[in-house]
């Protein structure tokens, strides 16, 4: 297909049925376009992507909730071009022709996703630089080691809740709870953590009837936090946004906190659930993990390829008439970043069963100027959380047949409903009663990935100051006058490390 949409809302094809109408239950809608929502799409999204790829190539016309048309970008290189070329494909949703014409209502189920807000993810140019700079600068102040201690503490606290039972449901009792506990601590509102906040965060991106109300609940909690931090600053992310030289308004601070909280929570919840499912169901993963040949961070990266936390993201609007993947895109058209289909594009991944170890070319966190700035926070929560769980319950096993697992969601994300597991009952672990450290720090952002897979290096070389397992080392046959680089973040006193270095150098 190389022509614009054969169907537009409100066109001569007839009135659009309401979202809850049984007419939406089928996989195709007006103009013969395939729907990205409904039972068929949710049951087999990968199959839908392949049908669209076969029918239209790397860019396909589709229908979102309410039969609103959009372009789903399936190709890996096409997604990279779209996300890296804001001059052609803007993040400003106010450009959407359907919104300008009033064919998409403000109470649309996906309104929390596409409604323009004064945040960096909807801005371009100088405004984007000012707002994103405030976010990235504030993130750079996070104490990575302190947060990893938060993650480990909260993980063990959650395991204590079910370790004596010998069984658990890992999605609701672990994957959905850990990210919110950690993010509330980072943002500066641990007192707001409760089941209602967890439920609201999951609901607001699902395109449900209650998504707008859930969004309002989250915003209310964040507005209260911003008001408190204007009066009483703290050592947390909210305070750093409030005090940043960019001079964010209360509304801008609140909306950025919402983006950070929800995106980090949603992606990390799905990531943890998907990693655990792979560990429990894929014999390659479990055998390699237990045999010591695959680390949890490597399992996380493979999962980001195979089952990304966000399957696709509505978030680009054509600045003018253009062409992408052989399709004629009109000014104001909506485009969807196809994360999951891009990760399975035959052009970059002809063999889906092949290991992607060491390859981070996936689009799990998008790309370009709007690439997720907090992706390493999500990786850290998944790395430390899953590792802590497996350390406590090394005999963890799936307690149902894999075929009984099910998913719900929409084109934005796919949620594992339940992951029942069993294990040998064990006693609760005593958790340090001392207060956890503050989340502020003055260290390198690279410290986030202390446990992440090393990048490929020439044979015979090692990372400066590191050895497998995190031990200090140099090359086995390094000359005695070769200095040993010592990482800035270590628990031993500096004087001790100086003595070690002097000893190593023969002084």
- Concatenated DSSP letters of 336-348: EE-HHHHHT-TTT
Length of the chain measured in residues: 507
CA 64 to CA 3: how far, in whole Å? 19
Q: What share of the chain is helix, strand, coil (3-state, %, to 5)?
A: 45, 10, 45
Q: 269, 228, 246, 243: which is closest to 119 by C-alpha?
A: 246
CA dihedral for 458, 461, 463, 466, sign (positive or negative): positive
Give 102's contacts (C-beta < 8 A, 6+ positions apart). none
Helices (H), 32-110: 39-43, 45-56, 76-84, 97-100
Helix or strand holding residue 414 (H, E): strand 414-416
Q: In terms of C-beta density within 10 A (0-12 exposed, 13-18 middle, 19 or more buried), how is residue 81 classed?
A: middle
Cα-trace Rg, the chain = 24
Quote the pTM value. 0.78
Q: 127, 82, 416, 138: which is closest to 281 by C-alpha?
A: 416
| Pairing label, strands 34-35, 59-64 | parallel
Give residue for tokens 């509102």.
Answer: 189
Backbone angles phi, psi at 17, to 5 degrees: -65, 150
CA 221 to CA 478: how far, in whole Å? 56
As a dihedral over the C-alpha atoms of residue 260, residue 262, residue 267, residue 273, rounded to 10 degrees, the angle is 140
What is the model's pLDDT at position 440? 64
What is the model's pLDDT at position 435? 55
Buried b (16+ CB within 10 A) or exposed e, 374-391: bbbbbbbbbbbbbbbbbe
Q: Do the beta carbons of residue 437 and residue 146 sit within 8 Å?
A: yes
In three-state secondary structure terms, 71 is: strand
What is the model's pLDDT at position 128? 92
Q: 307, 323, 315, 326: which is closest to 259 by C-alpha?
A: 315
Angle at 15 between CA 10 and CA 18, to 5 degrees: 110
In three-state secondary structure terms, 10 is: coil
| Pairing label, strands 167-169, 407-409 | unpaired
What is the model's pLDDT at position 289? 67
Angle at 361 between CA 357 and CA 366, to 5 degrees: 130
Q: Which 8-state DSSP code applies to residue 64? A: E
Q: 90, 88, 124, 82: which is closest to 342 by C-alpha?
A: 82
Per-residue pLDDT 10s for the chain (507 aa) are 344 455 554 443 344 444 444 444 468 888 899 999 888 888 889 999 999 999 999 999 999 988 999 999 999 999 999 999 999 999 999 999 999 998 888 778 788 788 888 889 899 999 999 999 999 999 999 988 888 999 999 999 999 999 999 999 999 999 999 999 999 999 999 888 888 888 888 787 666 778 788 888 999 999 999 999 999 999 999 999 999 999 999 999 999 999 898 888 889 999 999 999 988 988 777 676 667 667 888 889 999 999 999 999 998 999 999 999 999 999 999 999 999 999 999 999 999 888 887 788 899 999 999 988 888 899 999 999 999 999 999 999 999 999 999 988 777 888 899 999 999 999 999 887 655 555 665 444 444 443 333 334 344 333 333 233 333 333 333 333 333 332 333 233 333 334 433 434 444
**Encoding tokens for residue 151?**
């993650």
Q: Do the beta carbons of residue 426 and residue 393 sit within 8 Å?
A: yes
**Encoding tokens for residue 58?**
């790397």
Q: 319, 416, 316, 320: which is closest to 366 by C-alpha?
A: 316
CA 239 to CA 94: how far, in whole Å? 30
CA 259 to CA 112: how far, in whole Å? 10
Cα separation values, 381 from 140, 306, 384, Å: 17, 19, 6
Q: 68, 73, 172: which is closest to 113 by C-alpha?
A: 68
CA 384 to CA 253: how far, in whole Å? 29
CA 25 to CA 486: how far, in whole Å? 60
Q: Which 8-state DSSP code applies to residue 172? A: I
| Pairing label, strands 407-409, 414-416 | antiparallel
Give 263's contacts (C-beta < 8 A, 6+ positions apart). 372, 374
Helix or strand holding residue 300 (H, E): helix 296-306
Q: Do the beta carbons of residue 311 and residue 339 sit within 8 Å?
A: yes
Give 354's contacts (C-beta < 8 A, 6+ positions apart). none
């Amino acid at each position: 297909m190389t022509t614009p949409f054969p169907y537009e809302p409100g066109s001569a094809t007839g009135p659009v049925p309401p979202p809850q109408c049984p007419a939406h239950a089928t996989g195709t809608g007006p103009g013969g376009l395939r729907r990205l929502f409904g039972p068929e799409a949710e049951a087999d999204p990968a199959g839908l992507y392949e049908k669209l790829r076969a029918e239209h190539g790397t860019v396909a016309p589709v229908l979102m909730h309410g039969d609103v048309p959009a372009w789903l970008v399936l190709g890996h290189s096409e997604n990279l071009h779209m996300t890296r070329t804001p001059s052609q494909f803007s993040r400003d949703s106010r450009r959407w022709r359907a919104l300008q014409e009033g064919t998409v209502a403000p109470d649309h189920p996906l309104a929390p996703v596409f409604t323009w807000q004064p945040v960096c993810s909807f801005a371009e140019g100088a405004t984007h630089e000012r707002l994103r700079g405030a976010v990235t600068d504030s993130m750079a102040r996070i104490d990575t080691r302190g947060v990893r201690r938060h993650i480990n503490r909260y993980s063990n606290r959650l395991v204590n809740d079910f370790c004596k039972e010998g069984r658990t449901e890992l999605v609701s009792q672990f994957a959905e709870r850990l990210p919110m506990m950690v993010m509330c601590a980072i943002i500066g509102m641990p007192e707001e953590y409760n089941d209602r906040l967890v439920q609201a965060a999951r609901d607001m991106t699902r395109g449900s009837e209650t998504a707008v109300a859930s969004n309002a609940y989250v915003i209310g909690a964040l507005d209260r936090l911003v008001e408190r931090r204007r009066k009483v600053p703290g050592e947390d992310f909210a305070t750093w946004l409030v005090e940043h030289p960019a001079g964010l308004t209360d509304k801008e601070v609140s909306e950025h906190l919402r983006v950070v909280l929800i995106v980090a929570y949603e992606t990390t919840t799905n990531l943890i659930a998907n990693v655990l499912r792979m560990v429990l169901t894929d014999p390659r993963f479990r055998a390699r993990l237990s045999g010591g040949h695959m680390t949890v961070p490597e399992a996380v990266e493979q999962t980001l390829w195979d089952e990304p936390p966000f399957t696709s993201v509505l978030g680009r609007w054509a600045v003018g008439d253009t062409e992408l993947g052989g399709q004629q895109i009109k000014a104001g058209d909506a485009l969807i970043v196809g994360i999951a289909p891009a990760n399975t594009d035959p052009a970059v991944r002809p063999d889906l069963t092949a290991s992607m170890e060491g390859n981070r070319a996936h689009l799990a966190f998008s790309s370009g100027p709007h690439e997720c700035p907090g992706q390493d926070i999500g990786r850290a929560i998944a790395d430390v959380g899953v590792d802590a769980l497996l350390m406590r319950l090394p005999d963890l096993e799936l307690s149902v047949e894999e075929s009984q697992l099910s998913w719900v969601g929409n084109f934005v994300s796919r949620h594992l409903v339940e992951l029942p597991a069993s294990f040998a009952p064990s006693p609760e672990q005593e958790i340090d009663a001392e207060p956890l450290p503050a989340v502020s720090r003055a260290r390198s952002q690279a410290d986030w990935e202390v446990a992440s897979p090393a990048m490929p290096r020439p044979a015979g070389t090692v990372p400066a100051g590191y050895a497998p397992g995190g031990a200090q080392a140099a090359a086995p046959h390094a000359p005695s006058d070769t200095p040993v680089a010592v990482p800035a973040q270590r628990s031993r006193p500096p004087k001790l490390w100086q003595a070690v270095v002097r000893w190593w150098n023969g002084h």
